[in-house]
Amino acid sequence: MNVLVTGGAGYIGSHTAVELIHAGHKVIVADDLSNAKAEVIDRIETITGTRPAFYPIDCKDKAALDAVFAEHKIDAVIHFAAFKAVGESVQKPLAYYRNNLDSALTLLEVMEKFGCRKFIFSSSATVYGPDNPYPYKEEMPAVKSTSPYGQTKVMIERIIADYVAANPDFCAVLLRYFNPIGAHESGLLGDDPNGIPNNLMPYIGRVAAGKLEKLTIFGNDYPTPDGTCRRDYLHVVDLAVGHLKALEFAKDKTGVEAVNLGTGNGVSVLELVSAFQDANNIKIPYVFGPRRDGDLPAFWADAEKAKTLLGWEAQYSVEDMCRSAWNFAKNA
């Protein structure tokens, strides 16, 4: 299949591009490089031996997207392109609503114009919000998040569901991620955001590499065993494979399905720091800071639907995640 990967130079998008190429698909990447680097395309080529077509465009730019669809007969779209920092979204809600909603709407409009009917959406566990008990199950109501970032995912899921209802020949898979960490085994791809990282593992990696003085852990007074937030961390390569499985599922299906991608296990921030130290024999200095806006105390996935529907389950351990993250970060 010819697969358009929006945000394909980013962390999850680049790993997914690698898995798609390994599986024999042709990958076309669209990424405005607002939180990614152009050399990632070179690294995808180094790993796979195949260079994806690359368009440095904003997915809100309908004319630019039109040109990509006109150039390539796109069979399916995997949509990653979005602003993604929970805390930043609380401070800059308009930027998040404008960027994330506009890019999704524009993409769906262009897909409709060109008759492309397979859509894999990068959603988030944040759609389950503060009221659902964990582990989160797909049948739970996903109507309220604790941040504007999460609300954009709730809204786009609703838009997609309404679109599929009006277009019964369309297939969409809403992949609700938990917390991807780790890096490709080559050490060439990993989580390397522009500026100071908003996510935990790249921050730990930069502290370990001496680029940042210490890690700040946001909150140690949550109602959890060690006072720090508990999350469902999964290896980014496992997550990438989940997209490949979703694409294979969607190939001859119609309708819309929401699917969790997680391990089903909760790990606290302190436990993750300890695992990183043990796996790599490196000390990570840290301090506790105030809670971060939009963070919930704990959540993790019920991952059964991914196993039964997509034939997918996480393969990598927390130690694997920590070792691969450092293998990337020490050379980044």
Place of tokens 């796996």: 279
Q: Are 299 and 270 in contact (CB under 8 A)?
A: no
Told to judge if 149 belongs to the known catalytic residues of this protein, a careful annotator would answer yes
- Active-site pick, 11, 55, 128, 149: 149
3-state secondary structure of 91: helix
Q: Are 115 and 150 in contact (CB under 8 A)?
A: no
Long-range contacts of 271-276 (CB under 8 A, 24+ apart): 271/226, 272/181, 272/200, 272/201, 272/204, 272/233, 272/318, 272/322, 273/204, 273/215, 273/217, 275/318, 275/319, 275/322, 276/201, 276/204, 276/208, 276/322, 276/325, 276/326
Which sign does the torsion angle of CA 1, 42, 279, 227 carry? negative
Peptide bond into 297 cis (omega under 30): no
**How do strand 118-124 and strand 171-177 relate by DSSP bridges?**
parallel
DSSP assignment letter at 126: G
CA distance 103 to 171: 19
Residue type, 240: A
CA distance 29 to 19: 14
DSSP assignment letter at 307: I
Q: Are 159 and 169 in contact (CB under 8 A)?
A: no
CA distance 310 to 288: 40
**Nearest residue to 60 (alpha-carbon basis) of 94, 107, 123:** 107
List, by residue number, the catalytic residues: 149
